[in-house]
A and B are shown apart, each in its own frame.
Chain A
Amino acid sequence: MANHTVAETIHVPYLEEKGILSWILSTDHKRIGIMYLVSISTFFVLAGIAALLVRLELLSPGKTIVDAHTYNVLFTFHGSAMVFLFIVPGIAASFGNFLIPLMIGARDVAFPRLNLLSYWLYLLGTVIILFSLLKPADTGWTFYTPYSIQTGTDVILLTFGVFILGFSSILTGLNFIVTVHKLRAPGMTWHRLPLFIWSSYATAILQLLATPVLGITLLLLIAERVFGIGFFDPAKGGDPILFQNFFWFYSHPAVYIMIIPAMGVISEVIPVFARKPIFGYKAIAYSSLAIALISFLVWAHHMFVSGMSEVAATVFSFLTFLVAIPTAIKVFNWLATLYKGSIELRTPMLYALSFIFLFTIGGLTGVFLGTLAADVHLHDTYFVVAHMHYVMIGGTVMGFFAALHFWYPKMFGKMYNEAVAKVAWFLVFVGFNVTFFPQFILGMEGMPRRYADYPPQFHTLHEISTIGSWILGLGILIMALNLLRSLTNGEKAPDNPFNSLSLEWQIPSPPPHENFEKIPHVTDWTYGYGKKNNQEG
């Protein structure tokens, strides 16, 4: 950077400089966003391969490719890498970093160097977790005690890695909250903020307030193993349920850390491709905060069969139902936005519509699971696996793919091949449903989760599910190849290929280092589509 004079640097596209140092030392929020994007995508692929192996083992009863211990290791790696390395940092760290300053009209986040530190901490955490694979843990991603204290595998390194990642998450959340409070451009009032900002803000609150509790939980777990303290060990007078309470006090809000940013993406994509102003702006904005708030009050619904009083279980069950209200508010507002819109089925829109469809299934099955009587039957079965994947893939990953195809031209200054992208979407959509819908039935019929083997009557459905995983994998492979190839071979992207009114599309693709030549003065919200006298012409 020192080679350029100030005036030059400001106008140079942020991708211009080459060399690894110009990346890992960059405090430019756009570069940090891209580094997160590359990192989380890498772990998405690695953890996805683990998932394909898990599904392959389940293709037929008995041992197919791996023994039971290896199977446990595989699903533990799949779960912890997907959760802690991909989906929790996920959209928030990658697209959040890239977009928040652009969308609010700022030159960077509030603390650029702290932002870079967050990324380094993320890297450090991943390195530690990869080291733990020398003696990989077999606890599942939830590290339940007392097994996690007793197993001979390397739980300490894995949880320490997750602890470090927690710091990264906390600092990112802190940075985003301060950025949204203090760096909005003149005229960018709270009620003019793009909804992606509202959702990032709600997510940041969760990251900030929930993650420290995970931090202390994991520290205590490590202390159980290293110093022999007995908080979670019944043999020493401790209480393993306390671990579950601590763990879910973080990990339930974490579910919303995973999904709320994706909801923000959907709120951006739908109005652009329906050419209509977003319906119920304030309802969508405040429902993000409502979800964040309620998410702190429902953790015990993961523990209905762990042993708790009926009163507590009933209260937590009803509190769980409350989450459905702000969630449904969002879905209905998206549908109302689509109503009578001139819908253009570009790839981001296809993923956004898939989100609404699949997330609704995931959300409603969540209400089943929040119901006490049903949960006793369905707990720890494949119904939970299917529900969770409908929310996490059908929701978050669809939102992630929508974001990837929507902001790709802005990020890289290139267009991808639309036809190939649509083929990939089709395979992803079909493959996902073929993989996970049968698992609802498997769960209803009593197939427990996390087992390497199963009785023959479950064979057909497992087989269908495994074949589905191949279709899903193929779809993602095609998508990835298309996006990677377009980096070099794609057509040059216009500044605003989708005719969006949001601030990030009013500057060059890819944006210059300082984002805006002059900080914009905002006079209206960003959703004035389909009206006369706006920039659509």
Chain B
Amino acid sequence: MEEIGIDVHAHHHVDPVVEYKASKLGMWLFLATELLLFGGLFAAYAIFRAKYPEMFHEEHKELDRTIGAINTVVLICSSLTMALGVASIQRGKKKLLSLFLLLTILFGIVFGINKYFEYGHKFEHHIYPSTSIFFALYFMMTGLHMLHVLAGVLVLTALLILSLKGKFSENYYTPIELGGLYWHLVDLIWIYLFPLLYLIS
């Protein structure tokens, strides 16, 4: 009881090992819900692609493959730095964790800046979500994904602040691992979006 502290209803009401396992299970379940959220869009993509193959073929040429490819590389690099961050703190290297978190955040921001210019070009060419079913899919899928990148960057920034305050060690790094899981999912979804929208003709 002594270690429970004043607020007995805070998250410390169970022992750390159980809490670690519970948190990880919770995160995996959350990732499942994210997949289902995007699942609706993937289903819509499949249905409309089957219905309008010519439209998909013609309009996907309008997308900027170069920026798409750069962003793919950027996100893959960010996943690498994230994984290195987790590996660092598991070995107790706190400064290295902060460094890798910072790099991951920067990659996320670069991704966002690229997307900003990409969308900007589309609007200049008067391409909007209402232009066609294909562009509706393009904007909805990449837009929802971008929101997730944004959320990820915010979460990682919070983790970076905690990390700089020295909250994490080789004995306690659950939030880092959870943040990492989330970030990898965001990356993974993009790995599917890129070929589906930009590459397949």
Contacts and interface: CB of A to CB of B under 8 A. Distances in A.
Given A6-B6, A9-B6, A114-B26, 19 more contacts: A6-B5, A10-B1, A26-B9, A27-B9, A110-B22, A110-B26, A111-B22, A113-B10, A113-B11, A174-B26, A182-B14, A182-B21, A209-B36, A213-B40, A216-B38, A220-B44, A220-B140, A230-B136, A513-B9
B33 A208 contact: yes
A181 B25 contact: yes
A298 B32 CA distance: 21
B40 A220 contact: yes
Interface string B109-136: 0000000000000000000111011001
22 contacts: A2-B6, A6-B4, A9-B6, A27-B9, A110-B22, A110-B26, A111-B11, A211-B33, A212-B37, A216-B37, A216-B38, A216-B39, A223-B140, A227-B130, A227-B136, A228-B128, A230-B136, A231-B133, A236-B130, A237-B51, A242-B44, A513-B9
Interface in B31-71: 32-34, 36-41, 43-44, 47-48, 51-52
Interface string A204-240: 0000110111011101100100011111000011110
B80 interface: no
Interface of B: 1, 4-11, 13-14, 18, 21-23, 25-26, 29-30, 32-34, 36-41, 43-44, 47-48, 51-52, 128-130, 132-133, 136, 139-140, 144
A31 to B, nearest CB: 9
A209 B32 contact: yes
Given A212-B39, A223-B140, A175 B26 contact: yes
Interface string A1-30: 110001101100000000000000011100
Nearest to B133: A237
Interface in A269-309: none
Majority SS of interface residues in chain A?
A: helix
A9 B5 CA distance: 11
Contact of A242 (B32, B33, B47): B47
Contacts, number: 133
Given A231-B44, A239-B47, A215 B37 contact: yes
A504 interface: no
Interface residues of A, number: 49
A33 to B, nearest CB: 13
A525 B34 CA distance: 37
A237 B129 CA distance: 14
Contacts of B41: 216
Nearest to B33: A212
A201 to B, nearest CB: 12
Contacts of B34: 212
Given A6-B1, A6-B5, A28-B9, A174 B33 contact: yes
Interface of A: 1-2, 6-7, 9-10, 26-28, 106-108, 110-114, 170, 174-175, 177-178, 181-183, 208-209, 211-213, 215-217, 219-220, 223, 227-231, 236-239, 242, 246, 513-514
Contacts of A230: 130, 132-133, 136
B11 A227 contact: no
Top 10 A-B residue pairs of the complex, sorted by shortest distance between their CB atoms: A228-B130, A216-B40, A229-B136, A212-B36, A212-B37, A227-B129, A182-B22, A27-B9, A110-B22, A212-B33
B26 A178 contact: yes
Contacts of B1: 6-7, 10
A217 B33 contact: no
Contact of B129 (A27, A223, A239): A223
A27 B136 contact: no
A514 B5 CA distance: 13
Contacts of B7: 1-2
Nearest to B1: A6
Contact of B33 (A170, A219, A231): A170
Contact of B18 (A28, A182, A513): A182
B18 A183 contact: yes
B36 A112 contact: no
Contact of A183 (B5, B14, B48, B129): B14
B36 A213 contact: yes
Among B18, B128, B133, the most chain A Cβ lie within 10 Å of the Cβ of B133
Nearest to B18: A182
Contacts of A181: 22, 25
Among B23, B33, B44, B128, the most chain A Cβ lie within 10 Å of the Cβ of B33
A211 B10 CA distance: 28
Given A27-B10, A28-B9, A228 B26 contact: no
A479 to B, nearest CB: 32
A178 B10 CA distance: 17
Nearest to A113: B11
Nearest to A223: B140
Given A212-B36, A213-B40, A217-B40, A238 B133 contact: yes
B25 A178 contact: yes
Contact of B128 (A174, A175, A177, A227): A227
A174 B32 CA distance: 10
B86 to A, nearest CB: 21
Contacts of A113: 10-11
Nearest to B21: A182
Nearest to A27: B9
A223 B48 CA distance: 17
A107 to B, nearest CB: 5
B49 to A, nearest CB: 13
A26 B139 CA distance: 40
A5 to B, nearest CB: 8
Contacts of B48: 231
A26 B38 CA distance: 33
A216 B41 CA distance: 8
B52 A237 contact: yes
A7 B1 CA distance: 9
Contacts of B30: 174
B38 A108 contact: no
Contacts of A170: 33
Contacts of B9: 1, 26-28, 108, 112, 513
B33 A10 contact: no
